[in-house]
Amino acid sequence: MRATTAGREWWRWGVVFCGVLFLQPLACDDGGQISEGKSPKIVVERESLSFSVVQLGQEQEQIIEIRNMGDAELQISEMQLSGRGTEALKILVDGANYTGSRIRLDPLEQSDGKSSMMLGIQYRPTQVGDVDAVLTIRSNDPLNQEERVRITALEIGPRVQISPKPIVFGQVDGGEVKAVDVTITNVGAAPLTLVNISLTGSDDFSVEAGTRENIPFPDRSFEPQDGFSFKIIYAPEMKGPDMGSLTVKYRFGAGERTENAQISANGDEPCVRITPQDSIDFGQSIIGKTATKQVSIENCGTSNLVVQSVALASGSDPTFALAFLPTELANGLPVNLAEGSSRGFQVTYAPTAEKAAQGELVIQTDAKAPSDEIRMPIFGIGTLNTCPTARAKARVRNSGMAWSDNVAAEPIDYLQLSAADSSDDDGDQIIEYRWSLVKAPEGFSVGFDPSNRTVETQIQLAMVGDYVIELTVTDQHGLVSCEPARIQARTRSDKSFVVELTWRTPSDPDETDTCTGCGTDLDLHMIRPGGMFDDKVGGSDCHFRTMNPMWGDPANLDDNPHLDRDDADGGGPEQINIKSPARTDGVGPGSYTAPYEIGVYYYDDHGFEPPVWATVRVYLNGDDVPTHVLPSVASGHEQAMRMVLADPIGGRGHFWHVGELFWTETGSFVETDPATQPRIGFP
């Protein structure tokens, strides 16, 4: 640890106050006595703490070990919390609230003394918001008088979900009237208070009561998973495309937030997508218990889908049943699904004997694609063997944090995963572990390391966003865990600017594999104002050759870029970030008078057939959702740039000049016209 300026001054004056000048270090005790050649040395185990999602009124605790690695008594005179969200934090010493009293730790050489302590940080949120605080520990270590530990916690609060989203009316002739039921649900972790619901866009959209600017809603708060419904009506005078937007404004702490859903009318024929596909297989299921499989019916078309009935075919084994059918279907009425929306239900299996059972699920809709009647076989086998229990836990690698199933991390962090706590009540041996990534940011293509079939593994959370990882285990008889264990992780960057590159290679059958030549190689470039792309010696281009150049104000390290991940074997991501970019308006030390520039170069195809499809996401001002997803394309097209030519030697491969970054107090990004991209070679 580096000695601070304050620490050096303390040392110089400490020698004078002790009253003796020596050429070697001195330490003073409380009585002013001099311990020649000895001094305390504070070592704090962790530089940062991150808390996962915590419900209001609940608490989590993390532990920090503090050690005295010196040869004189360490005295901790003060510990203080500062920053955002400190009202939700407490400092605990030996399980009790810290009162400010002096803490003494014996030197390491005194083996019978207390040379370390466990410091607890308790997080108990009572209001919405997040935490970005600092714990300052002050001591008599002459070379390190202040230690700081950063403390962060994911944002908690209400969150609005609009369903369906988007709201699609399909084909509606002039003079007709059509209505769609819209549901507003609180899917957050705190009560929801609505401020306003409004409708904008085409005047052909309206609501049952009230005005478009003030759509009525219940005058109460909504607990998590609580909500209400209303109708949006579409009544065009003539047939033609119409667009609009539904905006829901709600309170979030002392401020307000909004959620939007696009509204469209007139489209093509509906289609239906069923999940799971083809069949429903319960495998071995325990006699005397009820196993469940979730089934989802989704409208994959651009006009409304009518689900007319869901039933088990005659002759199906009576151990199969349907549960939680939508109310309309349970009452013999159809369900209307707008484009992109879905409804779910359960198929249950309650075996009574050790035998195989078969059945068939029949779903009838008005869709012609793939068919208006879908018949799915159902299979199950009763067993007296109890299924094993999958238990999964995770933590950020090298963080020292407690294992959990809900983890907060920084982008590029590695998430350690463990299935070691999985068990089988029968005493059977667990012979197979299977990890799967069921949710990740769009474009994510990173695999498990060393594999997804080991008890202990890891995965790099290489993009900003939310992740869900599931674990299933199998016992020696082939019985799979009745329910998967689930881990939720969220990455959020404290950097003001983040740019991510991902790409897709249709000719690459596995973009998650890792080896030299396993995939195509695209490179992300960012140049400082006035810099040169592919600058190999001047440091003006942040890319794989110069991953952390020194830019801007030499006295300010926060304005330097970092390429945190270079991917040479397909898919990405690659990421460049700057904590606080230098201004581009000429104001302040180290500022520029021109913008930064972002580009993507097709470096090497490694023998894979072209093309590759590249996508860039730009995050500005600390947002955890992308401000821009590039290139801009017409609706219905993949947001990706087609790149064909690769050249690692001559620099004549395809280059996509993505755009320019401007920075003052905040940032803005201007895209280069995608119609002019890509070009051959660097600019």
In a domain, 403, yes or no: yes
Q: Locate 148 and state its tokens.
A: 């700081």
520 and 629 together in one domain: yes
Which 8-state DSSP code applies to residue 178?
A: E
84 and 34 together in one domain: yes
501 and 601 together in one domain: yes
In a domain, 100, yes or no: yes
C-alpha 136: how far from its chain's center? Answer: 29
Strand, helix or coil for residue 189: coil
State which of 265, 285, 308 marks the end of a domain: 265
Cα–Cα separations (whole angstroms), residue 444 to 416, 520, 615? 18, 15, 11
326 and 355 together in one domain: yes
In a domain, 65, yes or no: yes
In a domain, 433, yes or no: yes
Query: Where are the alpha helices (H) located in 635-681, listed in sequence order?
Result: none
In a domain, 43, yes or no: yes
Separation of alpha carbons 89 and 96, rounded Å: 13
Task: Encode pLDDT of 309-347 as tens digits.
Answer: 999 999 999 999 999 999 899 999 999 988 778 899 999
670 and 526 together in one domain: yes
Separation of alpha carbons 440 and 105, rounded Å: 45
Strand, helix or coil for residue 25: coil
- Is it the case that residue 110 has pLDDT exceeding 80? no
Cα–Cα separations (whole angstroms), residue 262 to 229, 248, 306, 402? 17, 12, 21, 41
Strand, helix or coil for residue 271: strand
Cα–Cα separations (whole angstroms), residue 39 to 42, 215, 380? 10, 69, 71
Q: How many domains does the chain have?
A: 5
Separation of alpha carbons 362 and 297, rounded Å: 12
Cα–Cα separations (whole angstroms), residue 388 to 284, 391, 436, 453? 11, 10, 18, 16
Greatest CA separation found in the chain? 99
Residue 595: name the closest of 493, 522, 466, 497 by CA: 497
Separation of alpha carbons 182 and 336, rounded Å: 12
Please provide residue 14's backbone torsions phi and psi, each rounded to the nearest 5 degrees.
-60, -35
| Of 247 and 33, more confident | 247
Residues constituting the chain: 683
How deeply is 496 buried, as exposed, middle or buried, from its count of CB atoms within 10 A (0-12, 13-18, 19+)? buried
β-strands 167-168, 255-265 pairing: parallel
365 and 219 together in one domain: no
Q: Locate 551 and state its tokens.
A: 């830019």
CATH code for position 245: 2.60.40.10
Band the pLDDT of 276: cuts 50, 70, 90: confident
509 and 417 together in one domain: no
Q: What percentage of the chain reaches a pLDDT higher than 90?
A: 47
Separation of alpha carbons 545 and 536, rounded Å: 7
Q: What is the mean pLDDT of residues 543-572?
A: 92
pLDDT score of 6:
35
Separation of alpha carbons 82 and 66, rounded Å: 19
- Is it the case that residue 375 has pLDDT exceeding 80? yes
662 and 522 together in one domain: yes
Q: What is the mean pLDDT of residues 241-260?
A: 88
In a domain, 388, yes or no: no
CATH code for position 620: 2.60.60
431 and 375 together in one domain: no
Task: Encode pLDDT of 142-155 as tens digits.
Answer: 999 999 998 877 66
- Secondary structure of 29-56 in the HEC alphabet? CCCCCEEECCCCCEEECCCEEEECCCCC
Separation of alpha carbons 484 and 434, rounded Å: 10
**The most confident of 5-9, 323-327, 370-374, by mean pLDDT:** 323-327
State which of 456, 491, 526 marks the end of a domain: 491
403 and 485 together in one domain: yes
Please provide residue 202's backbone torsions phi and psi, each rounded to the nearest 5 degrees.
-55, 140
Strand runs (DSSP E) across 171-304, as ranges? 178-186, 194-201, 205-207, 227-234, 242-252, 255-265, 272-275, 280-286, 291-299
Domain that includes residue 193, residue range: 160-265
Which residues are CB-contacts of 255 (< 8 A; sequence separation ≥ 6)? none
Residue 270: name the closest of 165, 164, 169, 166 by CA: 169
Q: What is the mean pLDDT of residues 439-462?
A: 88
19 and 34 together in one domain: yes
The per-residue pLDDT of the chain, averaged, comes to: 85
Task: Encode pLDDT of 594-652 as tens digits.
Answer: 999 999 999 999 999 899 999 999 999 888 889 999 999 887 678 899 999 999 999 99
Residue type, 443: G
β-strands 167-168, 393-396 pairing: unpaired
State which of 365, 383, 401 marks the end of a domain: 383
In a domain, 129, yes or no: yes
Residue 471: name the closest of 510, 432, 443, 441 by CA: 432
pLDDT score of 25:
42
| Count of other CB atoms within 10 angstroms of residue 23 | 4
302 and 174 together in one domain: no
Band the pLDDT of 54: cuts 50, 70, 90: low
Task: Encode pLDDT of 188-205 as tens digits.
Answer: 778 899 999 999 999 999
CB 72 within 8 A of CB 39: yes
* Cis peptide, bond prior to residue 166, ω within 30 of zero: yes
Q: Locate 261 and state its tokens.
A: 């859903």
End-to-end CA distance of the chain: 43
In a domain, 181, yes or no: yes
